[in-house]
Structure 1
Amino acid sequence: MPTHIKDAQGSSNNSSSSRHASIVEMLSTPPAIPQQPTGSSEVESISLSRNPSLTSLDSQVSTTTSCLTKIHSQKWQHIPLSQLIEPNKLISVDGSISVEEAFNTLVRHNLTSLPVEKFPGDVDCITFDYNDLNSYLLLVLNKIQVNDAQVARDCQTGKPVPVGEIVKLTPKNKFNKLPETENLSTAIGILGSGVHRVAITDPQGTQIKGVLSQRRLIKYLWDNARQFSNLESLLNSSLSDLKIGVQDSQTAPTSRQSRVISIQGEEPVIMALFKMHNERISSIAVVDHHGNLLGNISVTDVKLVTRTSQYPLLHNTCRHFISVILNSRGLEMGKDSFPIFHVYPSSSLARTLAKLVATKAHRLWIVQPDSASPSTPNSAVSSTQQSAAISTSTHHSDSDVPARSGSPLNVKSMEEPANTTSTPLFEKEYRTGKLIGVVSLTDILGLLARKQTEHKQVDPQTARRQRGSVAI
């Protein structure tokens, strides 16, 4: 297939072959397909990207050849689920262990969810994730009420609480199970409705062999996008053209759209956690009084306030907590980094997917760039900004380590105009642009389901309506 994935904001692919691809282009281009051993008669020359010398974002090195094994285009819809199973990431816990033990297991294995079994091999299990950890923390602090008075008392008096009891207290979707012989078309019909993960079982449905999450599916499609020619037209389209997510804060979202949920930077962190709990979302935008995006707080950042010594952070501002999050990431990486959690209405789907994969996020915030800036969002970036982008692409995950002292907040976002002076992030009241929308994994998977499978009526809000909001 032609592999020129064109960003809706970018320039033409007809640039000089000597021009080096920018970081923006690298973020907008699916990874190259690994070369397989083959005879010379089976090799054909194809373009790898806008710059034939660029192989992938991961390698970031030049190559003297643009020859790859002849790749026969596939339809992603027909890929069996067995190809996406990651057995090493299937870690289950018994429902009798404490919430603290379950949390430590999440961190130790770098997972976002765990099946909680009533007995070994329980195929009707439910999952424990960071939303449950957030609910547990709010219960400990007596910020929410639940129907189980004994569990509430145990939480507030410091007694160990079985994780099997906590997972029953928050609204959840059914843990759907699909046999490994099913294909991606079936899975995307479920995940595109807002369900976060499905269990993959053996053909008889008697044993869970893996878990397929929305994030894992998006990463698979992006990593293998060059093999799926039917994705190209969508990848080249802008978010505005595709009409996904919310892109106008003055207009009520349709039934197929997410809502833009944000919090003021001066509000306490505990309120951000409460909002995420109440709205059943995994991250929330932090904005200033003018609606400009300041940053992002994810439900996985709860891990930074799980110790009693960290509780004062809960009553500090969301603005300050963003600096704590960035400090912790800098400590883990050994360098400063600034994850880029925003896109523009004119950003291509390719670039949006690249950022979602790189940030390991469930949603990106759509911002309106400052019209006074002479730079466009995809204009050339400085070397400092390129370094920030590379840091983002190679690591951004939610850190497992506590915050350190000192502030590394002097790394600029990749999309900030290059002529901005190097000033510490919050000292100069850094903003990425006015928050005007949000696009989520659910929005994208729902789009793929409607456009390219038989699931033409998939509604991304179905799962949220089933979960409902939490009664307080």
Structure 2
Amino acid sequence: MATPGRDTPSSTSPTMQTPQMNSSRGSIDASRSPRLGQANLHIQNPSSAAQHRQSFGDLRYPPSPRSTRQPSISSIAVQDLIDNPPHRTTPDSKFANRDWRTIRIAELSSPEDLKFIDINASVEEATNLLVDSGAPVLLLRDPRSTAPVVGTFDYNALNAYLLTAVGIAQPSEENAEKFAKMAQRAGQGKSIPVRDVRDIGRKESVTFLPESASLTKAIETFGKGVHRVLVAREGPEGNIEVTGLLSQTRLMRFLWENGRNFPVIDQLYSQYLRDLKIGSNSPISIK
């Protein structure tokens, strides 16, 4: 799990079949779909060949092999955190005398956190929205899909695209031809749709959790290498609605700012890492 700091963006990449859901169109067969609170939601980018709906029971968490686990936050974010540690504010009274493990993730998220953009929009449009809105990530929607979100676009994806377009970063061998053509089009001043650049850079699945999920469940998910989760609920007709977003850094900031409401957490802040046995005394390598 990450240390508090600024949100570290990440990109989306498919690794498994995608369930198809939409907050405004379509529904999931109620006879096959368990309650949202009893399911772990995890969807990824839909392919054109997989445009059928799936029930919540078909969804599962992404695997977490250590060999593919991504770092929680960048070295720049870590240094910024060291140089500018967050100030502890007055804790929110609504969380007083509560067990932090039972707090629902919906209590830390809001629909105002969500910024959507069509997957066919240009990179320029997406960049302007990213900058103007101040959002750490844009959620991609595909009009041809019934999924409420098919991917994300953030500063990590934007930087990776720019580095590839100017020839500094080299794509993988299987994507070399595709990105070479994209770089050529960009050099000619032609519009590049977001759908063509969303897979550049670090790959991470789009992961959903129900509103009723606890902070404990969120931490378990973040421990699998996931940096942010989309908060969702099941609509009256079985369709899925996205209602918020929770990132590693937002969760850590919440625990830092409200630690005095939770004595079991507050007592940890004054202790040394070595006393908490965090880290390793025999590191193999440092990158």
TM-score by length of 2: 0.60
- Displacement of 1:74 after TM fit? 1.6
Name the amino acid aligned to 1:224.
Answer: N
Say yes or no: does 1:122 pair with 2:156: no
Which residue in 2 is equivalent to 1:210? 244
Question: Are 2:182 and 2:192, in contact at CA under 8 Å, matched by a contact in 1?
Answer: yes
Name the amino acid aligned to 1:90.
Answer: L
Distance 1:35 1:233, change over 3 A: closer
Distance 1:155 1:229, change over 3 A: same
Which residue in 1 is equivalent to 2:160? 135
- Displacement of 1:160 after TM fit? 1.5
Return the match for 1:158 from 189, 204, 208: 189
Gaps in structure 1 of 5+ consecutive residues: 1-26, 37-70, 254-258, 261-472
Which residue in 1 is equivalent to 2:115? 91
Say yes or no: does 1:112 pair with 2:144: no
The secondary structure found in structure 1 opposite 2:97 is coil
Report the Cα distance in structure 2 between the residues aligned to 1:220 and 1:179, rounded to whole angstroms.
Answer: 19
Distance 1:156 1:185, change over 3 A: same
Distance 1:28 1:112, change over 3 A: closer
Report the Cα distance in structure 2 between the residues aligned to 1:90 and 1:157, rounded to whole angstroms.
Answer: 33
Distance 1:98 1:72, change over 3 A: closer
Question: Are 2:104 and 2:213, in contact at CA under 8 Å, matched by a contact in 1?
Answer: yes
CA displacement, residues 178-226 of structure 1 (integer Å, 9 cap, x when unaligned): 1101111111111133311111101456111111111111111122211
Distance 1:201 1:252, change over 3 A: same
CA displacement, residues 101-144 of structure 1 (integer Å, 9 cap, x when unaligned): 11111111111111111128733411111111111111221122
Report the Cα distance in structure 2 between the residues aligned to 1:243 and 1:205, rounded to whole angstroms.
Answer: 45
Name the amino acid aligned to 2:228.
Answer: R
Say yes or no: does 1:33 pair with 2:86: no
Name the amino acid aligned to 2:192.
Answer: V
Say yes or no: does 1:144 pair with 2:176: no
- Displacement of 1:161 after TM fit? 0.7
Which residue in 1 is equivalent to 2:204? 173
RMSD: 2.7
Return the match for 2:222 from 191, 195, 217: 191
Distance 1:241 1:96, change over 3 A: same
Name the amino acid aligned to 1:239.
Answer: L
Distance 1:104 1:229, change over 3 A: same
Which residue in 1 is equivalent to 2:103? 79
Which residue in 2 is equivalent to 1:100? 124
Name the amino acid aligned to 2:260.
Answer: R
Report the Cα distance in structure 2 between the residues aligned to 1:213 and 1:72, rounded to whole angstroms.
Answer: 22
Name the amino acid aligned to 2:226.
Answer: V
Report the Cα distance in structure 2 between the residues aligned to 1:234 and 1:212, rounded to whole angstroms.
Answer: 23
Name the amino acid aligned to 2:266.
Answer: E
The secondary structure found in structure 2 opposite 1:211 is strand
Report the Cα distance in structure 2 between the residues aligned to 1:145 and 1:127, rounded to whole angstroms.
Answer: 21
Structure 1 stretches of 4+ with a deviation exceeding 6 A read none
Return the match for 1:235 from 269, 277, 283: 269
Name the amino acid aligned to 2:270.
Answer: N
The secondary structure found in structure 2 opposite 1:73 is coil
Report the Cα distance in structure 1 between the residues aligned to 2:154 and 2:86, rounded to whole angstroms.
Answer: 31
- Displacement of 1:35 after TM fit? 6.6
Say yes or no: does 1:221 pair with 2:221: no
- Displacement of 1:168 after TM fit? 2.1
Report the Cα distance in structure 2 between the residues aligned to 1:165 and 1:216, rounded to whole angstroms.
Answer: 29
Report the Cα distance in structure 2 between the residues aligned to 1:188 and 1:109, rounded to whole angstroms.
Answer: 27
Question: Are 2:204 and 2:226, in contact at CA under 8 Å, matched by a contact in 1?
Answer: yes
Which residue in 2 is equivalent to 1:378? none
Report the Cα distance in structure 2 between the residues aligned to 1:174 and 1:233, rounded to whole angstroms.
Answer: 35
Which structure is higher in RCO with an 8 Å CA cutoff and minimum separation 6?
2
Report the Cα distance in structure 1 between the residues aligned to 2:118 and 2:280, rounded to whole angstroms.
Answer: 40
Aligned pairs, number: 193
Report the Cα distance in structure 2 between the residues aligned to 1:104 and 1:195, rounded to whole angstroms.
Answer: 26
Look at both structures and tell me which one has the larger radius of gyration over its CA atoms. 1
Question: Are 1:121 and 1:207, in contact at CA under 8 Å, matched by a contact in 2?
Answer: no
Name the amino acid aligned to 1:132.
Answer: A
Question: Are 2:98 and 2:261, in contact at CA under 8 Å, matched by a contact in 1?
Answer: yes
Which residue in 1 is equivalent to 2:46? none
Question: Are 1:175 and 1:198, in contact at CA under 8 Å, matched by a contact in 2?
Answer: yes
- Displacement of 1:34 after TM fit? 5.4
- Displacement of 1:170 after TM fit? 3.1
Gaps in structure 2 of 5+ consecutive residues: 1-84
Name the amino acid aligned to 2:191.
Answer: P
Say yes or no: does 1:252 pair with 2:284: yes
> What is the correspondence of 1:345-424 to structure 2 with a 5 Å cutoff?
none
Distance 1:210 1:73, change over 3 A: same
